Every structure is written in structure tokens, then in C-alpha cells.
Structure 1
Amino acid sequence: MATAKKKAPAKKADNPSADVGRTRTARPYPASSFQDALGLGNAIMTHAAGERVRRLTLLEKMGKSATSSATKMAITNSGKYGITTGSYAADFLELTPVGAVVVNTSRSDAERRKAAFDLAINGVAPFKLLYEHYKSKRLPEREIIKDVVRDSGIDVPDLDECVDTFTVNVKDLGLLRTIGGAETLISIEQLLEETPRADGVAHTVHAALAQATPAIVKKVANDSAISSDWEKVCFYITPIGTEDSEARKHADLFMSSLVQPALEELGLIVVRADHIGEPGMITTQVLEYLKKSKLAIADLSYLNPNVFYEVALRHALRLPVVQLIRKADRLPFDVNQSRTLVFDTTDIYSLIPKIQTYRAEIANQARKAIEDPESVGNPVSVFYPDFYK
């Protein structure tokens, strides 16, 4: 009987986007930020005083479905970071010794910061690599950072996601500082020496978690072609204002410098209400985009009522939306239960050095929202689940 010939291994694509449409290899990093994965550890500390707890009991206390993909992913990511032990099918979940330090508020800030660093950066191969490479240096553009990972020999199936998650983690840990007008990665030793900070600026482990000249906002030239494939559309909900108004300048800056670059790597085209090219009632068109777009980015800056109305519609439709806001604005109670990215636009000297980090945060939250819309927070489904019955 003839022996079947073995197929030669397929040549690995140089472009990470080539992974789309074929089986992905296992990530050598968790599929969420450390801050998001920490939720399970916090719940064990809150509901079980940090002790070993039955999985189903804990999930019931958290109001989570034991069979949902979001719950399984949360348990998996917590385990990959080393915060907890026990899979999504295990009878019991338990904090690891290091995870217990991170979530224990009776421990010193320095102990908790060091423990968080060990799990979020030191315990993840590509993140440790990037930290060691850029420690005490300025962070370059994403493409340069991706080359460092690519040249390391570590098999990373999605370099964009890897770099974004690393960037978000070091920011949440307080390791990114604006020094000399650029985002600089400080060492964990420096951070610990400065803990606690007298000025109160330093992050805590539970903190909410590239220099560029703003480009001209890309107008939708052929909206009918775009709307035929809603899987490629991100609708940007934002206060627009009149021509030359502060709100219009803000919307143009955020769209061109933050939102569009962040979503290009996800293959999404950003559309804003005033750039829709089709004739007809603008209200009808907006409603269509709110209902059909794969993702929505909602800028809550200036607390514009139209923006909140459109966000409410996305929530009611149970569709993915990522919220962001200026640091100068106070987030209203009704939506402060949802994860909201806060950007400092105090002045150009505060904004420009952080542009690359802000882009990474938007891309990171966008991926999470698309994979599981309710993971980024939906007040309607959280506080009134019977609404959908």
C-alpha cells in the first residue's frame, strides 16, 4: 500500500493580516489586557475573601453565565497571566500566590505593583522581550516595535494585537511617562522607588485602564459601496458642531489622529455622520449606520445629547461600542459603568506624546468589543437583562 506523501508546511506570511481566513496559532500572550483579566481575581477577593472557591458559586455572585464565551475567555486569560488557577471547566478557582498579592489591598503599594508587573509583563514572553528592549527608552512607532518581536524568533500570530496589549499593560501599570516630549518606558525599579508618589500622579494597579501631525479627515467618497459590506464599517459617534467650532476641530483631530489609524489595522473604515455621501434624511442614514455597522466608537466629550442618544440605541440593539472621553469632561453616572478610555487633551504637549498609546488603547478595546460586545459594558444588559426577553 502506497504511503501518502506529507504536505510541505505552508510558508508563513510576512503580513500578519494574512492570518485572516486560516487557523490561528496559539497566542504566546493572553487575549486581553492585564487590567481586564484582573476582574476574576478581584471577584475571588471580594466574594471569597481570597480563598479557593467553587467556580459556579463565584460566577453566580458575579452575575456571569458559566457557559458564555466571555466567561470562558475571562477565566482563560486570568490563568494565562497567572492571576488564578483553574480552567473554565474546573470545579474550583483559586488565586495564585502572586495573584493574591495583586488584589490584596492590605499589602503595600510597592508589593502590589511589583506583583502586577511580574504577571502582566515579566510572565509573558513577548511582553518581557519588549520591556527589556525599550526599558528607559522612548517608544518608537508600532511598526518598529513589531520588528523587534518579529526578529526575536517568538512565534506571534498577530503582531498588532501583541504590541497593542503590551502598550496598554505598561500604561496601566504606570510605566509610561512623558519625558522630553515623548512616551518613555521607565523601569519597574524606578516606579517602585517612587511609590507612593507625593503628588498623587502615579497609577495604582487598579487604575482605569507617536508623535504625528493630524491628517485631513478622510471623507467617505462612495458611501453606497461601503454600506454594502457593513462588516467593514465603524461608525464614529461624536459631537460635530458647526464649521470652525471647537467641537468640530476636536472631532476632526480625534478621527484623523486616533480613531482612523487605530482601526486601520482591524480592516475597518471609519464613517462619521457629516461625511455620509448618500442623499436623503441624515437621521435615517444615521439610524442605518447605528443598526448595521460592525463597531461604533462613541466620543462622549462635550457631553453632547445626540451622542448619548445614539449610544443608547447601540446598547439597546446589543451591538459593540467603545466609549472614549476627554479628561476635562466628567463621565455621567448612567454610562460610567462601561469601560471608557480617557484621553488628556489639556494641551498639545500633553496630547502629542501619547498619541501612539491612545491608538493602542482604542485598537485593544475595539478588538474586545467585536469579539464580545458586552465585555466592554452595556448598562441595559447588565442592569435590565429581561429587556431582551
Structure 2
Amino acid sequence: MKKGMDKKAEGNKKKAPARETQKAPEDLYAKRVERAAADRHARKQRPFPACSFEEALDFAKQIFTFGSGQPVRRLLIFDHIGKSSESGPSRQLITNSNKYGLIEGGYQAEFLKLTQKGARAVDDEIPRREQAKARAELAVLDIPVFNQLYEKFCGSKLPPRAALIDAASDFSIPTELGEECVDTFIVNVRFAGLLQTLSGSERLITLDHFLDSLPASGVGNTPRIAHTFEGAGGALITASSAEFEKTCFYITPIGDEGSEQRKHSDLFLGSIVEPAMDQFGLKVIRADAIDKPGTITRQIIDYILRSRLVIADLSFHNPNVFYELAIRHAAKLPIVQIIRLSERVPFDLNQMRTIRIDTSDIYSLVPKIESYRSEIASQTRRVLEDPTSSDNPISTFAPSLTVTIG
């Protein structure tokens, strides 16, 4: 009798993982938030900001515009941009803006104000060179580890990731933070204009070289540098055996075999999205790789609601993509958005950070592939570490909305 009970208990243990994937989205969401918080608590303190400089700069611009350059009340500025002043993402935004030297005042301060250099970085009325210099200093040169990496490789081609990570470890960056440090560094030097395509490859140039390339006269609006990718195949997987916690579901316009949309999707999947997910141990699944009899829509919705991450490609303004993205928004689960540089981000989504990829020609795309991978990885790391860090229109205006699966 005891032997039979032992076998039954053993059978129950084997079935447990299968039941785990049947949890409602809000249960998975709570579990992921709890796990991410525990990981952050256990992780060593970052000696660099936990977001890209561009994201912090956008917040500084809001402060500058709202207060006409004067200090602003913390509660009022977050009400102005439609965010809760006490939320985790808002506190993190203030912390990172402080680390970049853009603002003064913590997340409990009554007032937030721009630093002198922060004001120069966002004021479009000052000479362009002065603004560009302030941005480069704040984004790279004033962050010790970024400055060390920059000084080590300045004047050379952007080295392989492994070389950058190894160099970061020489500068006392813990092993578990190496990937994140390098991703943020690449995104920042690119935004600051210190990483440019020369002679067919991306090279780190001196600040003087960059400033000399700007017009001697003229004001602000330092040009942003765009973003880009190759095809992929892969074995079909079945939804019944999918490990959703190790899955990144790729929402993308697929199109018919040989169509422009299919070639585009294959290019992005194989050259950018999949390589960017390698460091996270996430398997990238596209809808046409789901091989299970039944209603395809139900299977797709399973992946949308249960995958640990969704990357949504807004290129071609495909209605199915927007429909699927809205479901993920309603579930308040982590998302990264990408789009071709030549296309407009729809109004309802343009408040969410979207990676823009330049596919105008092969000469624009190929040299920047590594940078695009780093930008996707950087955003992925943020939303996985803190699933609440990425607000969307639904979570902002209907915070009590919950989604369940019957």
C-alpha cells in the first residue's frame, strides 16, 4: 500500500511543472515581479545607471519643458507625464537621472531640478556643439566604467562583445553585470555620437572628432542615430511542451513565403532578435513555429499571455500585430517594441520606447547590427528585472484591469 502511495506522490511531482504553465496571467505576473525583486536584492550594486542615457534624458526634457528650466514639484511633473510619482518605475527614473548627473533631488524630494550640465543637454536653444558635448560627457565620460571602456578602445573599431566584457571585468565590474554594462555602454556611445560608421564598420571616435563634424553654428537637436538585421529557420516546437518561462514570443508580420514581410521578419529574427536573447537563455518563438493541431489563435494567445517576454515588431503596421500587442498590454507583461526607421510609430504607442532600425540599405544596416542587438538586450534586461518598469496605455489608464484564462 505504501509503495503505491509513493508512486502516486512521485507522479504528482512530475505533473507539477505542467500545472505551473496553467496559472492565470496575473499570477505569473506577480511571481515574476517577486522573483525580479529578489534577484535585484541579491545582485551587487551597479556602478553605472540601470537604463540608457536617452531614457533618462527624455525625463530631463520633461522637467525642462514643464518648469521652463526652473525646479519643479516632483508630484506635478509625474502627474504631467501621466505616471504615478510613487511607482517603482518612477523612482527608478529619478535614481537613474541622478546617476547620469542630469538632475538633483531624490525620489522623496519635494522638488526636482536640472543640473547645469543637464540643462545644457536638453536646451535646444544653445549651440549644437555645446549641447552635444554635455550629452557625451553625461552619457559616457562622467560614468567611470563607461569612460574607462571608451578610453581603452577609442580610435579603434568597436571590439567584439567578449572583449568589451573582459575589459569591463578588468575595471572591477562583477561578472554577472558584464553583459548589462556593455549593452548600456554601446547604446550610450552610439546615442552620444561617439560610435559612428566609418570605412564600413562601427568605430569609437574622439569627442573632438565628433564635435568637429557638427556645424560651427546652429542650435540644439543633436541628431539621433538610428537602429537595425537576417533570416532564421529552426525546428518546430509544440505548444504543449513549451517552457513559457524560457520563451520570448516574437510578434511580427510574417506574410507569405517569399513576400517582403516574410523576408523582413526572417532578417530581424535571425540577425538581431535571436542573438540578443542568447544571453538571457530565452528561446525565440514565432507564430509559424507552433506546430500543434487546433485553433491557431488560441495557441498564439497562450504564448502572448504566458511567455516571459514578448518582442513586437511594428513594421508594416500589421493589424494582427497590434491586436496581439494589445492583449499583452492588458496582461501588463514585459514587452520590447521595434520598428523600421522609415515608419512612424502609431500615436497610441509613441509614448513607449521603441527601437528604430535603419533598413534603408545593406550599408546602413550591417555595420550597426551589434548596436541594435545591444539596444534590444538593454531594454530586455530592464523589463525582465522589473516587469513594472514599462508602462503601456492600458496599465496607465486602467491600472485595476486584470486578465484571466478560463
TM-score band by shorter chain is 0.7 to 0.9
SS at 2:280 equivalent = coil
1:286 Cα deviation after fit: 0.2
Q: 1:59 to 1:338 in 2, by over 3 A?
A: closer
1:116 Cα deviation after fit: 1.1
Q: What does 1:353-368 align with in structure 2 at a 5 Å threshold?
A: 353-368=367-382
Distance 1:21 1:122 in 2: 26
CA RMSD of aligned residues (A): 2.7
Q: 1:315 to 1:124 in 2, by over 3 A?
A: same
Distance 1:57 1:68 in 2: 14
Cross-structure match for 2:23:
none
Q: What does 1:1-389 align with in structure 2 at a 5 Å threshold?
A: 23-155=42-174, 157-196=176-215, 204-205=221-222, 207=224, 214=230, 216-221=232-237, 223-227=239-243, 230-373=244-387, 375-382=389-396, 384-385=397-398, 388=401
Distance 1:175 1:21 in 2: 31
Q: 1:21 to 1:92 in 2, by over 3 A?
A: closer
Deviation sequence 1:35-70 (CA, Å, 0-9, x none): 111233222212222222332233333332122100
SS at 2:92 equivalent = helix
SS at 2:336 equivalent = strand
1:109 Cα deviation after fit: 1.1
Deviation sequence 1:321-377 (CA, Å, 0-9, x none): 211111233333333332211111122222111110010011111122334456445
> How many residues are paired up?
364
Question: Of the two structures, which has the highest relative contact order with CA contacts closer than 8 Å and spacing of 6 or more?
Answer: 2
Cross-structure match for 1:15:
none
1:208 Cα deviation after fit: 7.3
Distance 2:184 2:146 in 1: 9
Q: Any conservation in 2 of the 1:298–1:322 contact (CA below 8 Å)?
A: yes
SS at 1:388 equivalent = coil
1:277 Cα deviation after fit: 2.8
Deviation sequence 1:369-389 (CA, Å, 0-9, x none): 33445644523334x336738
Q: 1:183 to 1:204 in 2, by over 3 A?
A: farther
Q: Any conservation in 1 of the 2:88–2:388 contact (CA below 8 Å)?
A: no
Distance 1:155 1:139 in 2: 22
1:98 Cα deviation after fit: 1.0
Deviation sequence 1:123-143 (CA, Å, 0-9, x none): 111110111122121112211
For 2:235, give the aligned amino acid. Answer: K
Q: 1:64 to 1:331 in 2, by over 3 A?
A: closer
TM-score when normalising by structure 1:
0.85
Q: 1:117 to 1:54 in 2, by over 3 A?
A: same
Q: 1:359 to 1:343 in 2, by over 3 A?
A: same
Q: Any conservation in 1 of the 2:231–2:268 contact (CA below 8 Å)?
A: no
Q: Any conservation in 2 of the 1:52–1:95 contact (CA below 8 Å)?
A: yes
SS at 2:372 equivalent = helix
Distance 1:237 1:244 in 2: 19
For 1:346, give the aligned amino acid. Answer: S
Q: 1:206 to 1:95 in 2, by over 3 A?
A: farther
Q: 1:183 to 1:208 in 2, by over 3 A?
A: closer
SS at 1:289 equivalent = helix
1:255 Cα deviation after fit: 0.8
SS at 1:177 equivalent = strand
SS at 1:342 equivalent = strand
Q: 1:160 to 1:368 in 2, by over 3 A?
A: same
Distance 1:224 1:100 in 2: 54
Q: 1:105 to 1:327 in 2, by over 3 A?
A: closer
Distance 2:216 2:176 in 1: 39
Q: Which structure has greater helix proportion?
A: 2
1:23 Cα deviation after fit: 1.6
For 2:383, give the aligned amino acid. Answer: A
TM-score when normalising by structure 2:
0.82
Distance 1:370 1:171 in 2: 23
Moved more, 111-120 or 149-158: 149-158
SS at 2:152 equivalent = helix
For 2:165, give the aligned amino acid. Answer: K
Q: Any conservation in 2 of the 1:52–1:92 contact (CA below 8 Å)?
A: yes
Aligned residues: percent identity? 45
Q: Which runs of 5+ in 2 are unaligned?
A: 1-37
Cross-structure match for 1:5:
none
SS at 1:158 equivalent = helix
Q: Which runs of 4+ in 1 moved over 6 A?
A: 19-22
1:220 Cα deviation after fit: 4.1
Distance 1:70 1:49 in 2: 24
Q: Which runs of 5+ in 1 are unaligned?
A: 1-18
